[in-house]
Amino acid sequence: MSFVSQYSIRVSYNYILVDSIRIAYREAGVGNKPVLLLLHGFPSSSHMFRNVIPNLARNFHVIAPDLPGFGFSEIPSPYSFKYCFENYSELLNNFLNELKISRASFYLFDYGAPILMRIIVKRPEMVEMLIFQNGNIYAEGVGDVLKDISKLFYDDSFESFFKLKRYFEFDYTKWEYVNGVQDVKNIAVESYTLDQFLMDREGVKNIQMELKSDYKSNVELYPLWQQHLKSLKPVTLIVWGENDEIFKKQGALLLKEDIEDSRLLFYPTGHFALEEFGDSISEEIVEFWNANFNKTVQ
């Protein structure tokens, strides 16, 4: 399958008020196509989908929002908005309602996986297709990096706080992009540079620390989400950077085991698999859709 040049696809950069918060989102493709929601994780934004949106928009109505505290969405005060995964899920659900989206396919990556899983459990009728890309819902898939961060939160000492802060600085942000990749020269410098620039804004690192601290709420819900997917049996594509040290390949293998008829593909890269294999993953998404829904989206 060959995709049309990305320059022939128009991507719009929009804003919408959701619960009085100004949410930025990228959108491409016409409204009569099946909806595909792309949700970023830490420390990224919808910018991580910049290369694949034009490819996917030939076949889907693509929407990629920025969560508050990420990208170019508003950053409400922690006094008016509690930064936790449950609140993000409620906000995203309201975002979908504002756009009058009642059915969609979901791209679950990193933080996007626990945020979207909360919606999927509450509104299973919304699910058309799931694409998991290094978005973990298994304890066995949690890498040593997150385990180390968790230990540092529990160890209330100056030394631990100093170590914890390093996970929100440039060297770590860059590491998330380049660790495990085939060739560092394949990774766009602006990707991790933009992420860090946005995280260096006033108050954002405190927000990110709150979210990292709240990640334990996701781990507690892992068994519920696993059981739900076993029962729901959604059409599921799993595309995974197998060298990821944040969310390990065991998480992908367990997803494959639990969801009947899912398709699993490993790529020889790290956490941000789209940086090296965006074209291939885009092709797989479209082909998998066509194979399961017996129609070609044009």
The residues annotated as belonging to the active site are: 271
CA distance 67 to 197: 16
CA dist list (Å): 274 to 50, 184, 240, 241, 289? 10, 13, 10, 9, 18
Q: Which two tokens stand for residue 116?
A: 């979207």
Q: Regarding beta strands 11-18 and 21-28, do their DSSP bridges make them parallel or antiparallel, or are they unpaired?
A: antiparallel
Strand, coil or helix: what is 237?
A: strand
Q: Which two tokens stand for residue 56?
A: 């996917």
Asked if 100 and 126 count as a contact pair (C-beta separation under 8 A), the reply is no
Asked if 272 and 242 count as a contact pair (C-beta separation under 8 A), the reply is no
Q: Which two tokens stand for residue 41?
A: 């994780």
Q: Strand locations in the chain, DSSP E?
A: 11-18, 21-28, 35-39, 61-65, 104-108, 127-132, 236-241, 263-267
Residue 196, class by beta-carbon neighbours within 10 Å (0-12 exposed, 13-18 middle, 19+ buried)? middle
Determine the length of the chain: 298
75 Cβ partners below 8 Å, 6+ apart? 68, 69, 201, 203, 204, 207
